[in-house]
Chain A
Amino acid sequence: MIETAERALIGCVASVDGKPVSPTEAIYEAATLLANSRSAVVAGLGTDVAGARASVALAQAIGASIDHMDAGAVFANLDVMRRAGWIVTTPLQTRTRADTVLLVGDGLLEAWPEMADRLGLDAPPTLTGGARRVFRLSSGTVPPVGAATILPTLAALRALVAGRATSLDEGAFRPLSDLATALAEARFGVAIWSGAELETLAVEMLCGLVDDLNRKTRFAGLPLLPPNGAEGVTQAAAWATGFPVRTGFAGSEPLHDPWRFDARRLIASGEADVAIWISAFSSTPPPWDDAVPTIALVASGTAFGTSPAVVFEVGCPGRDHDAMLFDPALGGIAFAAASARRTVPSVADTVAAIAAALPQC
């Protein structure tokens, strides 16, 4: 099995305790750590679909749990979706049909720098034609209502759209009232937000607003999804386990608990005694430094506070190697050919090699 791993890991750069070693030694060291662990967590999960599959399979094999480095943003959206449901659309429908666009929050450009261009926000809807009106609901555009967060503003806007009384003062009432009128006049409106920025209650309020607007016209949400492959990993985890990340595999059935299987909590509490940290898109070190022995699968050039027990450099999906990836402009998982192909193992190759080196139980 080890020889197979060696072949699969051509171009592998690995180290143990900060010292360069052969791939074979690194795989052996990683497998030994996992074999001797009582409870492991596979975290970070900044990877493509193949990496997610391999990681879930490894976690299932050793009874570990899985988490994603951007799980906070994943659940800001998902908690709303699975509590109340929602009405959503795709980037292509936004580009082709949205005559009214509501941009919510200050973090959209950060979540998707090419958003305005890819959605064609400065141009008419490409299919339905006519004008496109774009409204911004951010700290600089609408007077804040009550508190510093956007939630009370969204609540007031929802009340105005529904024709309910509000206690807004004149300065806040006029612009919000105008906005409410504009949203109700939409023929196909789209509200865009980023789960990385908005708190869950604000997402829920916004989705409620979208729902209300559908009583008379058509409106849909477009959640911008977190980075580091989070959506592809969420989807792959769902079809493989029935759940998103923050799911454990120690029992006979997968167990999903966003509080319990938060990797940072598992490590801080001592419940996890070994971690696998995966970050193939960004040079992000594990946030717990050396609080627990860590097997790091990371992009080249990642700087660590303390050297992890084992480090493997892995390729960037879609750049260094072909990958199936969630693409924000397409709104779905699609094939991404390597843009600058080089010989470096993928997360999937590396995780599979570790799994193959584990003692059979």
Chain B
Amino acid sequence: MLQNLFLKSLEQGLAFGIMALGVYITFKILKFSDLTVDGSFPLGAAVAASLIVSGHSPFFATLVALFAGASAGFITGFLNTKAGISDLLSGILTMTSLYSINLRIMGRPNTPLLNQPTVYAIIDDFSKKVWPLFPSKHVYLLFFIIFALFIKVFLDAFLKTQMGFALRATGDNPQMIRSQGVNTDLAKIVGLVISNGLVALSGALVAQYQGFADVGMGVGTIVAGLASVIIGESLLGGRTVFVSTLGVLFGSFLYRFSISLVLSFRLAQASDLKLFTAIVVIIALTAPRFRQSLKLPTKGCESYGNS
């Protein structure tokens, strides 16, 4: 049973890990407390589910979901940089609007995807052809490992380009990077677009994985994302981008795994989970200070959401 739990958590950890990578971009790289996430995650799910139900290819649906999330990120960035609304409020405004928009997209609060083609079903069919003995129940795991690592490597590469440097410096020292010729407004918008694109992509994949999209599925996404980022950083540290992003995926897995453990041992019921997660994040956020006051070495969790 434990092995099964482990594999399921790995699947979920990687599926939600893509969302956590998005959260890493805004909170850690840009130091932008972006709450759009709670709306762009279900947005991705809603867009993908509606397109699949209306007969579009699941790959196309997932791609459109990604772009929908990216547009949501653009709106938040625009509100913050051009309209001068604070980062928190810009995100909250977009998130709140998305709740209505997601309902409009689906036309109802919930869209089931049972007996619909999903990206997994297609990959399963494909793998049956090239490798007939491949066990169907592992197709999710295989897909998520390959895909999440692909996104991680892609993000690592992006953060090593000139534009990636500009984004990192924008979060680190905006005055400096402006005096080096970078439009920090543009850098913020680019970061928010990529971040929310990834979050919506994750939402689309999760909806197909769990077999439905639901308007309420976004609640607490940001907290889960933050928990993953923090767990990863406190375990692996953040010396390089490569290690940091690996830590985010690993943190996401540990987060899902601990939730599964808690649930399967009946230490809590599913409805307690958000509280449970919030408490984990609070502890993690204050832990570095505990460690500091005890004069233990910290690994630099100095900058969450206080920009």
A and B associate in one complex: no
